[in-house]
Amino acid sequence: MSDELSILDRPLTLEEAAEYLQLPSRTVRELCTRKKLAHARLNYRNFRFRRADLDAYVDKRTVQISSPK
């Protein structure tokens, strides 16, 4: 079980984050450049992402549907 947790806690690469968000990697890179998506930048080309930050990005953009009265 601890191996599963460590895999889930491992930071994601740009490509993995793009797959997780179901977006092109170019879009994820642009979101980082525009400071719209939390990330760690290891150097010019290498980004890392936490799943919690990716989930928070999606949560901020989730449209709530109000029920008809």
pLDDT tens digits for the chain (69 residues)?
555 556 668 999 999 999 999 999 999 999 999 999 999 999 988 999 999 999 999 999 998 888 776
Q: How far is CA 15 from the centre of its chain?
A: 10
* Structural domain contains residue 69: no
pLDDT, tens only, 40-58: 999 988 999 999 999 999 9
Residue 64 lies inside a defined structural domain of this protein: no
The verdict on residue 38 lying in a domain is yes
Other Cβ atoms closer than 10 A to 68 = 4
Domain that holds residue 19: 2-58
Task: Report the CATH number at residue 38.
Answer: 3.90.105
Q: Output the average pLDDT for the chain.
A: 90
Q: Is residue 63 part of a domain?
A: no
Tokens 């977006």 belong to 23
Domain-located, residue 68: no
